[in-house]
Amino acid sequence: MIEKVDPILAESGWKKIEWVRLCMPVLSALEARFEKEKPLAGLRVSVSVHLEAKTANLCLLLRTAGAEVAVTGCNPLSTQDDVAHALAARGFRVAARHGASMEEYHEHLCETLSIRPHVMVDDGGDFTAILHGEHPEYAECLIGGCEETTTGIRRLEAREKAGALSFPMFAVNDANSKHLFDNRYGTGQSVWDAIMHMTNMVVAGKNVVVAGYGFCGKGIAMRAKGLGARVIVTEVDPFCALEANMDGFRVMKMDDAAPLGDIFVSATGCCDVIVGRHYDVMRDGALISNAGHFDVEANKPDLEARAVEVCERKPGIICYRMANGRCLNLLADGRLVNLAGGNGHPAEIMDMSFGIQALCVEKMAKEGRSLANKLYDVPPEIDREVARLKVEAEGLGLDVLTPEQEAYLAGYEG
């Protein structure tokens, strides 16, 4: 836990937090209500989400709602220390450090759960794993939790199917207000923001290989095209492959794409998408990056095994020199490039994702005791409420169905 706050870091972090808050109108609207109603009064909430400025605003909102909040990151490379210190300076229990070792990262997760939360917010399933394995006692007061990302939800589904889920969870990722915007437009923008910032290279004219054409992959490919890249998509799902084809991208096997790509971005949630035989045929100077869960999409042991020399070219860019002199550059250690090498999704996007999170925490606190130990969809009224608040904040005009139109749409004649 951060016990000694660095005031200079804390000041820099607080400026970031206040800046992004300007673009988070959904959270501001909820803040006004939570301030009055205090729906989380007397409850403890543990949060494990990439610890940066937008997440800090979620934590502040949960505290405004009356909760005692403990927070850590969900990836050892995405924590921004100044933001962590800014929260610690304001009395939050913060256990996180940028660049923590895996052991330290794990300790931070455990420490954050040791408050014995009533509700927890997870991103990727690390909290869930600890509460079911190493420290079930930390779940003694737990009503339930909320999961932020696709891979975390796949794991909860597997756990539920095996009858091994011991508390209710909301599948926040699957809400429309989350994945349609966060996974697609958020990842689409922040991946390129990070890659361009890290490499200072042009994207136009490059061959970009996007592995996985799900919500994240669609956003990454769309923005690469907009930046002037020639985009190739690899997939395992025939529908997604057809969609990519009709969206105007070349679709091929990774075996065929590997020798063509200048920049690789994986977004599959799967392991071993890029392996040894692909490294063997990649171009000199190829950039390899990942936007999916964890650091397993590009196989690192295969890369290391082939390298005759490994050196850091620039912070976050490791060059693996092959025996024939080719240099393959791995960005952000193969972890989520947009978060480990950048600021993650923009504020306007996280405004919606965290609006859903905050409302689901409230719902879990109020009604979770009557739920079974299952994975639940986000209630549609919460999803619509966040979309409605966002539409209002964006000043978009929405037509309203007339009673005649409603009757027409509901009928089967005419």
Binding mask of the shown chain, residues 258 to 297, with x at each position contacting ligand NAD by CB under 6 A: ---------xxxx--x-----------------xxx----
Q: Residue 222 or residue 339: which is nearer to ligand NAD going by CB?
A: 339
108-137: which residues touch ligand NAD (CB under 6 A)? none
CA pair distance 137, 286, nearest whole angstrom? 47
Q: Measured between alpha carbons, how far is residue 409 from residues 159, 196, 388, 406 in Å? A: 40, 47, 21, 5
Structure tokens at 170: 């909301």
Phi, psi (deg, nearest 5) at residue 69:
-115, 130
Q: Where are the alpha helices (DSSP H) in 22-149?
A: 25-37, 53-64, 81-89, 102-113, 126-132
Report the alpha-carbon distance of residue 334 to residue 186 in Å, rounded.
19
State in angstroms the smallest separation of the CB of 353 from ligand SAH: 5
Which of residues 60 and 191 has its CB atom nearest to ligand NAD in the complex? 191
CB-based contacts of 129-132 (< 8 A; 24+ apart in sequence)? 131/166, 131/167, 132/159, 132/164, 132/165, 132/166
Among 302, 67, 311, smallest CA distance to 58 is for: 67
The values of phi and psi at residue 161, to 5°, are: -60, -35
Q: Answer with the entry of ligand NAD, ligand SAH, none that 115 interacts with (C-beta below 5 to 8 A by kind).
A: none
- Residue 223 sits in the site that holds ligand NAD (CB under 6 A): no
Which single residue brings its beta carbon nearest to ligand NAD? Answer: 214
Q: How far apart are the first and last CA of the chain?
A: 66
Q: Under the rule (CB under 6 A), what is the footprint of ligand SAH?
A: 49-50, 52, 54-55, 74-75, 123-124, 148-149, 173, 182, 186, 293-294, 336, 339, 344-345, 350, 353
| Interface with ligand NAD: number of residues (CB under 6 A) | 29
**Look-up: residue for tokens 């492959």?**
241
Query: Interface with ligand NAD includes 59 (CB under 6 A)?
Result: no
Q: Applying CB under 6 A, which of residues 234, 343, 353, 357 lies at the interface with ligand NAD?
A: 234
54 binds, among ligand NAD, ligand SAH, none (CB under 5 to 8 A by kind): ligand SAH
Per CB under 6 A, 343 contacts ligand NAD:
no
Q: Which is nearer to ligand SAH, 127 or 376 (CB)?
A: 127
Q: Which stretch binds ligand NAD (CB under 6 A): 73-81, 100-108, 232-240, 346-354?
A: 232-240
Q: How many residues does the chain have?
A: 414
Contact string 164-183 vs ligand NAD (x = CB under 6 A): ---------------x---x
Amino acid identity of 71?
V
Helix (H) or strand (E) holding 144: strand 144-147
The upper half-sphere exposure of residue 216, i.e. CA atoms within 13 Å in the direction of its Cβ, equals 27
Determine the interface stretch with ligand NAD among 26-34, 71-79, 86-94, 207-215 (rule: CB under 6 A): 207-215
Using CB under 6 A, list all residues that contact ligand NAD: 149-151, 179, 183, 187, 211-217, 234-237, 240, 267-270, 273, 291-293, 336, 338-339
